[in-house]
Structure 1
Amino acid sequence: MATPVIIVHGGAWTIPDNLVQPSRDGTKCAARAGYAVLDSGGSALDAVQAAVLELENDPTFDAGTGSVLTANGDVEMDAVIMDGKTLKSGGVACVHNIQNPINLAREVMEKTDHCLLVGPGANLFAEEVGIKKVPTESLVSDEALRELECYKVYGNTVDDLFRQRGTGHDTVGAVAIDSQGNIAFGTSTGGISCKKPGRVGDSPIIGAGGYADNEVGAVSCTGHGESIFKVVLAYQIITQMKMGVSAQEAADKALANMAKRVHGFGGVIVLGSNGDHITSFTTERMAWAWAKEGVLHHGVNPGEDLTEPVINENN
């Protein structure tokens, strides 16, 4: 029997001061939701899905209801989930009018022979499995509209701004191990503000944006998608862990390598098959929380680790 653990992140970027507390609160709620599943004997897959759902429903984060806008003012979302026991995965990319893309990703994993569905095909599949469409305006916040107008000023330099300084909202994700020792990861994102329609980042791509393998561990990445793509960040970490490198060292080295090779910044949450769990990020801040044995740890700033009971009457 393994000791259940869940870790969540709300994105690695330059989180402004006014969003620090909402980001902290949101990741804490997500960790609690995922841990409640694990504590009741539920699976790692169900736990990461529950945690990501919380983040998708919180407009603080760039996923689901808080997704940023494309250059033409639309919402295109990506999500993925992976089972470390079977290595089965399901992902969706460029989906429209879906409040919880992580639910659709789970359906892809369990009800198709595919790993990834995109665009109109993904939305058609959503109809087939009974996932209802929501109006685009229900996914668009005032902050997303303001951010789009701001980013349009920079034109083609948007990509460089995020890659170099970690500006702009980013991905949410979770990794977990359940009492049976099974591991899973899930990730969801609305992408980068003012992205070209049809752009897909690293998030739904197995090996780049995340990975889960019972024999090694699980990773969920956040940061500049194009940079993460180029270095296959998640699998780079998993490969090092296979060779006996600790989760912390593997994560730190992989992020340093990404900065060196492609000048990209980001963060990761990593969970080893032995229960080791770490966070690492090279951006100014990353919202994260993890829960184990009834204790919740959380932070936003480098070196921060605050603790409280998992059960909190005020949250």
Structure 2
Amino acid sequence: MTASLWLFVELECATRSPLVAAACCFNGGLVKLCAGHGSVLNENGEVEMDASIMNGKDLSAGAVSAVRCVANPIKLARLVMEKTHHCFLTDQGAAKFAADNGIPAIPGEQLVTERNKKRLEKEKHEKCAQKSDPQKSLGTVGAVAVDCRGNVAYATSTGGIVNKMPGRVGDTPCIGSGGYADNDIGAISTTGHGESILKVNLARLTLFHVEQGKTLEEAAEASLGYMKSKVKGVGGVIVVNKAGDWAVKWTSASMPWAAAKDGKLHSGIDLSDTSVTDLP
């Protein structure tokens, strides 16, 4: 798994809401992977993005899919949540909604990087040679957050899979698969092979295990293990509960992640690679 970054942030009560914190991880330059510019490319060499966001306090949610020419699709997903009675907009409807709400259209070519052009060329070559592994060509960013009142939220954004068919939608914008948030249980953001995650509803499945009494780590291991055994899919999750407990688990080769709590920054990439430093 490549280009995945997962963040957990615990907030002081005087700071922003967890919903705002989760969304801002994408919008202020903190996270640039697959949040618009630099997203992976479909088979036509174009950027198509998906995103979703959810507030655990009232289960309000917003999602968009197959979005083009938008720098920060998570902003658009949040507007869907806050300014419509719907949960999900896609393609042309999402584009019109973005324009109507003042989100500037970015020329598609400005979202394309040379690095991802080369990735697409490599993927097409390997596919022709029957060496391609779609589960190694992924890119997603996600965040969960909690405040001292136990309010939780998640946000997830992706460009999908390299060399995907135009119009392909994965797990990220699907609430219950790409993420979920409920103050009574917790918040979770997922990454991995989208089709596999969709088949098992990975986010809600993990929180179901939490509801049944498992610890966050046990719940994550159970749901990821089920997905791997049932549909041979790999992935990763970051999950937090209202008490501020958190867990990060993955079954892929690696997953860059970070968690901020009690003035400490925990981070890692590989299973044996975890560091803890003081927050500035």
TM-score by length of 2: 0.94
Task: List alignment gaps of at least 5 residues for structure 1.
Answer: 1-12, 16-22
AA at the equivalent of 1:123: A
- Name the residue aligned to 1:250: 219
C-alpha deviation, 1:54, in angstroms: 4.6
Give the Å deviation of 1:40.
Answer: 4.5
The answer to whether structure 1 residue 150 and structure 2 residue 119 are counterparts is no
Q: Secondary structure at the match of 1:103?
A: helix
How far apart are the structure 2 equivalents of 1:106 and 1:62? 17
Aligned to 2:84: 112
1:45 aligns with 2:14: no
Confirm whether residue 274 of structure 1 aligns to residue 243 of structure 2.
yes
* Residue among 243, 253, 273 paired with 1:284: 253
Q: Does 1:181 align with 2:181?
A: no
The DSSP-based 3-state class of the residue aligned with 1:108 is helix
- Between the aligned partners of 1:275 and 1:295, the Cα distance in structure 2 is 13
State the superposition RMSD in angstroms.
2.1
Residue identity in the other structure for 1:196: M
For 2:55, which of 83, 96, 99 is the aligned residue?
Answer: 83
* Deviation per residue, 1:70-111 (Å, 9 max, x gap): 101111000110000100100000001000001111100000
Contact 1:183–1:273 (8 Å) recurs in 2: yes
Cα shift at 1:246: 0.6
Higher mean C-alpha deviation, range 179-188 or range 220-229: 179-188
Counterpart in the other structure of 1:199: 168
Deviation at 1:63, TM superposition (A): 2.7
2:74–2:155 contact (8 Å) kept in structure 1 = yes
1:213 is aligned to 182
Offset at 1:180? 2.2
Report the counterpart of residue 20 of structure 1 in structure 2: none
Give the distance between the partners of 1:145 and 1:63, measured in 2 at CA.
Answer: 17
Q: Secondary structure at the match of 1:66?
A: coil
When structure 1 is superposed on structure 2, of 37-46 and 66-75 the one drifting more is 37-46
Counterpart of 2:74 (choices 92, 98, 102) is: 102
Match of 2:44 in 1: 72
- Listed as ranges, the gaps of 5+ residues in structure 2 are none
What is the distance in 2 between the residues matched to 1:273 and 1:187?
19
Q: Distance in 1 between matches of 2:250 and 2:143?
A: 15
Q: What's the TM-score once normalised by structure 1's chain length?
A: 0.84
CA displacement at 1:299 relative to structure 2 = 0.5
Bigger helix fraction: 1
Q: Secondary structure at the match of 2:181?
A: strand
Inter-partner Cα distance in structure 1 for 2:149 and 2:125: 51
Which deviates more from structure 2 when the two are superposed, residues 168-177 or residues 224-233?
168-177
Aligned 8 A contact 2:220 2:249 in 1: yes
Q: Distance in 2 between matches of 1:122 and 1:291?
A: 33
Mapped to 2, the partners of 1:154 and 1:127 lie a distance apart of 38
CA contact (8 A) 2:138 2:193 kept: no
The alignment partner of 1:286 has SS state of coil
Q: How does 1:8-47 map to 2 (within 5 A)?
A: 13-14=1-2, 38=12, 40-47=14-21
Q: Count residues in correspondence.
A: 280
Residue aligning to 1:303: 272
Match of 2:112 among 132, 140, 144: 140
For 1:191, what is the secondary structure of its paired residue?
A: strand
> Helix, strand or coil for the counterpart of 1:285?
coil
State the alpha-carbon separation in 2 of the partners of residues 310 and 162 from structure 1.
36
C-alpha contact (below 8 Å) 2:123/2:132 kept by paired residues: no
Instruction: Please tell me whether the aligned partners of residues 25 and 31 of structure 2 are also in contact (alpha carbons under 8 angstroms).
Output: no
**Residues 177-199 of structure 1, C-alpha deviations (whole Å, 9 max, x = no match):** 01221100000000111000000
Aligned partner of 1:137: which letter?
Answer: E
